[in-house]
Structure 1
Amino acid sequence: MRRALVTALLLSAALSGTAAAQSAPAQSAAGPATPPADIRDLDTLVVTGEQPGPGMWKIMRGGHVLWILGTLSPLPKDMTWLSRDVEATIAESQEVIAPPSVSFGTELGVLRTMMLIPTALKARKNPDGKTLDEVVPADLYARWSTLKARYIGRDGGVEKWRPIFAAQELYEAAIKQSGMSMKGVVQPVVEKTAKRHGVPITEARVTLKIDDPKATLKEFSASALDDRECFSKTLARIEGDLESMRARGNAWAVGDIATLRALPQGDQYRTCLEALAATGVAQRLNIGDLRQRVTAQWLQRAEAAIAKNNSTFATLPVADLLENGGLLDKLRAAGYTVEDP
């Protein structure tokens, strides 16, 4: 959900399904520069081949069961998830609850939405044509330059982007080069299995209405955005957490919940979300309490499903399931019995 939130709040990618695909800069023909000597290679090797993934959390009340599979991103790129148990659970369920999500609603058709792409791509750039070295402190820019040389190469276009978007581009490039992938492996299986067995999928989505998307994009493009802390935390995560991310991906692949609990759950997205939520555009869209609204929406769907179904299936990010005071704790507090995998 974290990446989806940031992508949605990008405004540009949210308003055009193809904008994100078109936004990735082409790498220089010369390829990435030689890695600086002060960046060491990662030691943790990602798993490959067929892997079982984690077990499911079991939430019960009155003989009714909600099964929850914890999801994770990134995961080992060359892993194949053995999804038999999940497919069997979905086949025996009466409902599937989709993971929490956010969408932006407009009155535009597909063609008119596509015409917003130039405005959307402009919105991710710094106002007044400024470059990264002009909008972030020198020490942060030095760290950015070192990481960019390793993971992106000589591409200059990203230097014109706002720090929040440049950092995300760097983060995704680092993930790709570390033997991992941010592509979801669970949701396509869930949707295909539910369709095959005729199990309805209930959305847990909060929709934010944008009456004039073009004007909104233009306003965002001209807005100041204090995203230096987001930029800094994203760089820090790339510098110090890639090996932990590999370890978490391995733990998910082999179903090691204990290791997932023990490893730190790095998350720069909340800081980035706070930066975006502080803009005037975001405040008018009521984004400030978005996380709370999405959580409440999902809980409402879950409790309704448990009450009416013998068996329900859902997916949630592992970090949300392991978080103190998170969704599982809220269900426990509401009187449900929760069994860990």
Structure 2
Amino acid sequence: MLKRLLPVVCLLLPLSAALAQTEPAAAPPVQEADAEAPPETILLVGQRPGPGMWKISKDDHVLWVFATYAPLPEKMEWRSQQVESVLAQSQEYLTLPGAHGHVGFFRGLTLLPSLIGIKKNPDGATLKDVLPADVYARWQPLKAKYLGKDDGIERERPIFVADALYGAALKQSGLGYGYDVTNKINAIVKERKIKKTDTSIALEMDDASQMVKDFKKSSLADTACFDKTLTRLESDLDAMRVRANAWAKGDLEAIRKLSYADQETECRDAMRNADFVKNQKNWQNVKERVQEAWVSAAEKALSTNVTSFAMLRLSDIVGPEHYLDALKAKGYQVVSPD
């Protein structure tokens, strides 16, 4: 409940996730549902396997890494015989890396009154007051197209408005966050009673109630987050469909080639660099600590199990902060999917 009530915490986490995968060497080939791919701007539907998994190994111990990605076609049905085959052999499943605020349940209930109005701009300011005039002008047609006549949203902070706008635009464009893929994997893990290891870290709060109050009073450098979200919706929706189809067909190279305005980094940085976070000693160096926790869990799984299965975001594998490079530097063999 508190994760939903503390958007401050939620926005410290990556804002999107979707998936990719492969098979072990002996796995049978996947048969795609459609014999012929439709035009790239038309979203693929039907059963799709997604791309392949990364193989990390040392001696005879293997960790298969399944890369998440979003957005994905909302009407696509994900099904991978290869992933199911790997999970059938796995002794342990490592969840996606992340961070979450740690607040006791009863202590958390005391926060409820202070959470009222947490999404609003300080001092009753509106978007028109806090945004540059040119950015606000660009917001107006996108608001009308994706959110309609919602006057209340004009009083919310740009970072929350950007998130609402982006989600509405994806839905209207037939795209989603790929939760169906993650849910299916979790269902398989539960059904097979595979050991599940949470790789996320807990962020202790010195004074959660005071932190919420500080957030409500503080300004955020979230104009860049809002601006890049507008840019992405103005210019990237067709390319989003191309990348979503590329994932569905297993074409990682196509995803890599298509650059786009990375609003997620700007939005996360707006939160991570805010004063209310800097004042929390346990909330420092979160990005580095999250990566270290996942790498540590991966090493432990590799030393303990013959076969393990893990998930990472594609950006954590092919992006500038490559989680698997850390394992390669420690002497593990890393093989990318074809």
Displacement after TM superposition at 1:56 (Å): 1.0
Give the structure 2 partner of residue 261 of structure 1.
Answer: 256
Which of 320, 328, 334 is matched with 1:338 structurally? 334
Which of 68, 78, 84 is matched with 2:65 structurally? 68
Displacement after TM superposition at 1:210 (Å): 2.3
Q: Distance in 2 between matches of 1:49 and 1:115?
A: 47
Q: Distance in 2 between matches of 1:45 and 1:117?
A: 44
Residue 99 of structure 1 pairs with residue 111 of structure 2: no
Residue 329 of structure 1 pairs with residue 325 of structure 2: yes
Give the structure 1 partner of residue 128 of structure 2.
Answer: 133
Q: Against the structure 1 CA distance between its residues 87 and 327, is the aligned structure 2 distance closer, same or farther, given a 3 Å change threshold? A: same
Q: What per-residue deviation string (whole Å, max 9, x for no partner) do you get for residues 8-49 of structure 1?
A: 9732768xxxxxxxxxxxxxxxxxxxxxxxxxxx98111111
- Give SS of 1:73's match: coil
Q: Against the structure 1 CA distance between its residues 261 and 200, is the aligned structure 2 distance closer, same or farther, given a 3 Å change threshold? A: same
Give the structure 2 partner of residue 190 of structure 1.
Answer: 185
Q: Distance in 1 between matches of 2:61 and 2:323?
A: 18
User: Which amino acid in 1 is paired with 2:228?
Assistant: K
Q: Distance in 2 between matches of 1:62 and 1:43?
A: 42
- Give SS of 2:219's match: coil
Q: Distance in 2 between matches of 1:175 and 1:115?
A: 35
Segments of 5+ residues of structure 2 without an aligned counterpart are 12-38
Q: What per-residue deviation string (whole Å, max 9, x for no partner) do you get for residues 24-78 of structure 1?
A: xxxxxxxxxxxxxxxxxx9811111111111111111111111011111111000
- Give SS of 1:159's match: helix
Residue 78 of structure 1 pairs with residue 75 of structure 2: yes
TM superposition score normalised by structure 1: 0.84
Displacement after TM superposition at 1:266 (Å): 4.3
Aligned pairs for 1:1-341 within 5 A: 10-11=7-8, 44-109=41-106, 113=108, 116-117=111-112, 119-264=114-259, 266-285=261-280, 286-341=282-337
- Give SS of 1:226's match: coil
8 Å contact from structure 1 (residues 244, 264) kept in 2? no
Segments of 5+ residues of structure 1 without an aligned counterpart are 1-5, 15-41
Q: Distance in 2 between matches of 1:155 and 1:322?
A: 38
What's the Cα RMSD here?
Answer: 2.3
User: Which amino acid in 1 is paired with 2:325?
Assistant: D
- Give SS of 1:185's match: helix
Give the structure 1 partner of residue 24 of structure 2.
Answer: none
Q: Distance in 1 between matches of 2:269 and 2:85?
A: 40
Q: Distance in 2 between matches of 1:73 and 1:327?
A: 19
Q: Distance in 2 between matches of 1:118 and 1:136?
A: 28
User: Which amino acid in 1 is paired with 2:247?
Assistant: W
Displacement after TM superposition at 1:263 (Å): 2.0
Displacement after TM superposition at 1:224 (Å): 1.6
Q: What per-residue deviation string (whole Å, max 9, x for no partner) do you get for residues 168-196 of structure 1?
A: 11111111111101241222122221122
Displacement after TM superposition at 1:288 (Å): 4.2
Q: What per-residue deviation string (whole Å, max 9, x for no partner) do you get for residues 225-280 of structure 1?
A: 12111111111111122222211111111111221222225421222222212222
Q: Against the structure 1 CA distance between its residues 264 and 102, is the aligned structure 2 distance closer, same or farther, given a 3 Å change threshold? A: same
TM superposition score normalised by structure 2: 0.84
Displacement after TM superposition at 1:7 (Å): 8.0
Q: Distance in 2 between matches of 1:61 and 1:239?
A: 46
8 Å contact from structure 2 (residues 9, 100) kept in 1? no
8 Å contact from structure 2 (residues 124, 155) kept in 1? yes
Q: Distance in 2 between matches of 1:309 and 1:43?
A: 41
8 Å contact from structure 1 (residues 237, 266) kept in 2? yes
- Give SS of 1:100's match: coil
Q: Against the structure 1 CA distance between its residues 49 and 274, is the aligned structure 2 distance closer, same or farther, given a 3 Å change threshold? A: same
Q: Distance in 1 between matches of 2:330 and 2:5?
A: 31
User: Which amino acid in 2 is paired with 1:228?
Assistant: T
